[in-house]
Structure 1
Amino acid sequence: MSALQHRIRGLLDEFVDTGAETGLQVAVYHRGTLVVDAVAGVADSRTGRAVASETPFFSFSAGKTMTSLIAHLLVRTGALDYDTPVVDLWPESGAHGKETATLRHVLTHTVGIPAMPRDIGPADLPDWQRVCTAIADAEPRWRPGAETGYHSYTFGYLVGEIARRATGRAMRQLLRDWVAAPLGLEGELYFAVPRTDLDRLARLEDSVPQPLPPDDGILSPWERQPTAALGNSPEILQADIPSVGTFTARGIAAVHAAVLDGRLIDSRRLEEVTAPAFEGTDQVFGNYARMALGYPLGRLGAPPDETPTTFGWVGGGGSYVCADTATGTAFAMTKTRLTPHLDTARRLADVTAAEIPRHSRDSAP
């Protein structure tokens, strides 16, 4: 596996040297062993501070992997199951025909409220009560369970309010108590970064100005295109916004290694979690979507005929987190430069998949 470390590090240096990227981290676990822990470039272009393995990055929707995991751990406690109606815990959420929505619908992005209500903007995101009240009163675009469509920011508040009502604890506390502390990853995984840790973070930067993605008629511009200003905002970074997250590549890859090897989810639950749960056309972006419980299925850049054994999330701006049940591989990539494409993540993921033989469940690491 030293060959993979060498190759990944070489690619990271190439991305930085050519100016395609400014700062990156990649971590790969294979069957519970850290086989790649590579960094390159600077964490903050203003000061020249170098990226280190312990540098946390705000990584937009790649943080949804942590949100989905909290939902599965909540089910593990017995507080609810995947088909429990959300109104059982959150009665107000049933307004305007949403009373049939279940946790399964939340995890498959089929509740029908993909966009934030129009009176909610980025500055409102730290106000948990205001956002959840608006979501509860929102009218769904489709009957819960009928269609899927990317719930960009609403997803985290849906899971988070269900978890808060079930446990009395905020998502930042659950992530710390259920995941980070047991795995020895405190300081590497955050919903809501403590003020004292803000100076440790990488500083995001926008790439050359890009036009907004085509208007889907559903999401607001700020939901469709991430910006460095949002990801660097101290108010946003310190807020519990579990549709996004701050983490190191090493830390989030370690979490998914623990998911794969049974430390966080047993094998029966993992099989249930990663099975196809909803397939159809994404009503927001128009692409074909195959959803597991909380994650899109399929490796980034995989050929259409490849049997999906990978689950994870890409983050706006180009970050990527995934795990492969066939090979026991967990992969994570964070970066400072926000790009409108996933070229860097795709190339790194392809190299990793090629180096670690697929379907090698019984082979030696």
Structure 2
Amino acid sequence: MPEPEPDRSPAPALEGHCDPRFAAVRDAFEANFRTREELGAAVTVQVHGETVVDLWGGWADAARTRRWERDTVVNVWSTTKGVTALCAHLLADRGLLDLDAPVASYWPEFGAGGKEALPVRHLLSHRAGLAGLREPLPLAEFYDWEVTTARLAATEPWWEPGTRSGYHAMTYGFLVGEVIRRITGRLPGAFLHDEITGPLGIDFTIGLPEKEADRAAELVHPRPPQAGGQEAAFAQWEPVALAALANPPVGAAQANSPEWRAAELPAANGHGTARAVAQLYGVFAGRGRSGGHRVLSESAAERAREGQGACRDLVLGAGHGHETECALGLWLSGPHGSYGPNPRAVGHDGFGGSCGLADPESGVSLGYVMNRMGPNIADDPRKMALIDAVYGAL
């Protein structure tokens, strides 16, 4: 089947506002529609808590029948992970969670398979060796919290925990989330709402309530790999990468379904606006404050970006030939500038392009969300163009 032709339609009119100082961000956002096949998207930038860019435009569906509106929400895939990490850091800040304590001290069943001493920080930093399950995981069971967490508790690590990172693409949410549930009695989505997004009025949920479905953008799957299709790409992956990224295989079709939206997937099914992403990552950028509210202590916000050791990630290595370094639930920008020129800036990308960024030194937080997915897990060109424009304007 021939590759579909790139969209050549004119860039849509953008809505929202942009401080004149950050006009280059508006230009880059508009260029994403003209030259990078953007369908519908939004970007928000805050500097020291002040919103300097809040733009949206394009279409919320593949058929181009619904405009992207101010309150359009979209599944942001792994950009959710930084939000789930924020919940864990809030518990640590309150003295309810010790990041150096064994996971099994909160979740006794987790101590099976040689994991009795594995500390919580290894879950947050993708160093637990639990990047995926070895046995096939059907979607229906993947959506079942009790089934998936029980399987993770019983399994053995793929590698010696703490020695390497290997991206826990889907398991991260169940692992960190079950610790949250064991401490609070609430699933991460409920904890997030009760403690952070509800009180602060932030438009972000883990999963999506059925009543909100009408304002959700439709995700559009990325183009298939050029050489041989998805199956050929999978054949080149190591077993641990297959377990992490393709067990179960998920994409736009699954993420658009009512079943996905109804599930609790704190690694991958957060739904929100770019504004909400910027506000949530703004807690880290604001050294614990967002929107005038103290969410974390300064020391807790700083702890979140403590590097846990650079290495060539065992799961992402095929796509990132260079070394990367995870902090405690967020990725460091590092020498390659994934989140701008400050190597200690942090953020998290979502499959296909979305991004949250936090840079305490410059006071910048950024949220970027979209519905036409690119083929990359991280560092989508659209995101990088926006980040370059932000830092060029500072």
Q: Is residue 125–residue 131 contact of structure 1 (8 Å, CA) maintained in 2?
A: yes
CA separation in 2, counterparts of 1:305 and 1:235? 36
CA separation in 2, counterparts of 1:80 and 1:127? 25
Residue in structure 2 matched with residue 139 of structure 1 by the alignment = 156
Residue in structure 1 matched with residue 309 of structure 2 by the alignment = 278
CA separation in 1, counterparts of 2:95 and 2:139? 34
Secondary structure of the equivalent of 2:386? Answer: helix
CA separation in 2, counterparts of 1:300 and 1:42? 35
Alignment of 1:186-225 (within 5 A): 188-210=203-225, 211-212=229-230, 213=233, 214-218=236-240, 219-220=242-243, 222=246
Secondary structure of the equivalent of 1:14? Answer: helix
CA separation in 1, counterparts of 2:248 and 2:309? 23
**Which of the numbers 299, 318, 332 marks the counterpart of 1:268?**
299
Deviation at 1:181, TM superposition (A): 1.2
After superposing the two structures, state which structure 1 stretch, 123-132 or 263-272, moved more.
Answer: 263-272
CA separation in 1, counterparts of 2:52 and 2:206? 26
Counterpart of 1:76 in structure 2: which amino acid?
Answer: D
Deviation at 1:224, TM superposition (A): 9.3
Which runs of 5 or more structure 1 residues have no equivalent in the other structure? 357-365
After superposing the two structures, state which structure 1 stretch, 306-315 or 55-64, moved more.
Answer: 306-315
* Post-superposition CA distance 1:223-255 (Å, at most 9, x none): 597521022011111211000111111011012
Distance 1:138 1:33, change over 3 A: same
Residue in structure 1 matched with residue 271 of structure 2 by the alignment = 246
Counterpart of 1:326 in structure 2: which amino acid?
Answer: E
Distance 1:35 1:225, change over 3 A: farther
Distance 1:222 1:300, change over 3 A: farther
Q: Is residue 190–residue 246 contact of structure 1 (8 Å, CA) maintained in 2?
A: yes
Residue in structure 2 matched with residue 256 of structure 1 by the alignment = 281
Q: Is residue 27–residue 36 contact of structure 1 (8 Å, CA) maintained in 2?
A: yes
Deviation at 1:155, TM superposition (A): 0.6
**Which of the numbers 371, 380, 383 marks the counterpart of 1:336?**
371
Distance 1:225 1:16, change over 3 A: farther
What is the number of residues matched between the two proteins? Answer: 354
Secondary structure of the equivalent of 1:43? Answer: coil
CA separation in 1, counterparts of 2:248 and 2:24? 33
After superposing the two structures, state which structure 1 stretch, 239-248 or 112-121, moved more.
Answer: 112-121
Which runs of 5 or more structure 2 residues have no equivalent in the other structure? 1-17, 289-293
Distance 1:30 1:227, change over 3 A: same
CA separation in 2, counterparts of 1:306 and 1:26? 19
* Post-superposition CA distance 1:27-68 (Å, at most 9, x none): 011000111101120111335211123111101111111111
Alignment of 1:1-365 (within 5 A): 2-18=19-35, 20-46=37-63, 48-185=65-202, 188-210=203-225, 211-212=229-230, 213=233, 214-218=236-240, 219-220=242-243, 222=246, 227-244=251-268, 245-261=270-286, 262=288, 263-286=294-317, 287-298=322-333, 302=337, 307-341=342-376, 342-356=380-394
Distance 1:18 1:274, change over 3 A: closer
Residue in structure 1 matched with residue 14 of structure 2 by the alignment = none
* Post-superposition CA distance 1:68-88 (Å, at most 9, x none): 101101112211211011101
Deviation at 1:19, TM superposition (A): 6.3
Distance 1:18 1:142, change over 3 A: closer
Deviation at 1:193, TM superposition (A): 1.0
CA separation in 2, counterparts of 1:321 and 1:217? 29
Q: Is residue 338–residue 384 contact of structure 2 (8 Å, CA) maintained in 1?
A: no
Q: CA RMSD in A?
A: 2.2
Counterpart of 2:273 in structure 1: which amino acid?
Answer: T
Distance 1:313 1:176, change over 3 A: same
Distance 1:83 1:234, change over 3 A: same
List structure 1 runs of 4+ shifted beyond 4 angstroms.
223-226, 303-307
Counterpart of 1:232 in structure 2: which amino acid?
Answer: N
CA separation in 2, counterparts of 1:206 and 1:4? 35
Secondary structure of the equivalent of 1:133? Answer: helix
After superposing the two structures, state which structure 1 stretch, 121-130 or 26-35, moved more.
Answer: 121-130
Q: Is residue 114–residue 156 contact of structure 2 (8 Å, CA) maintained in 1?
A: yes
Q: Is residue 226–residue 316 contact of structure 1 (8 Å, CA) maintained in 2?
A: no
Q: Is residue 152–residue 223 contact of structure 1 (8 Å, CA) maintained in 2?
A: no
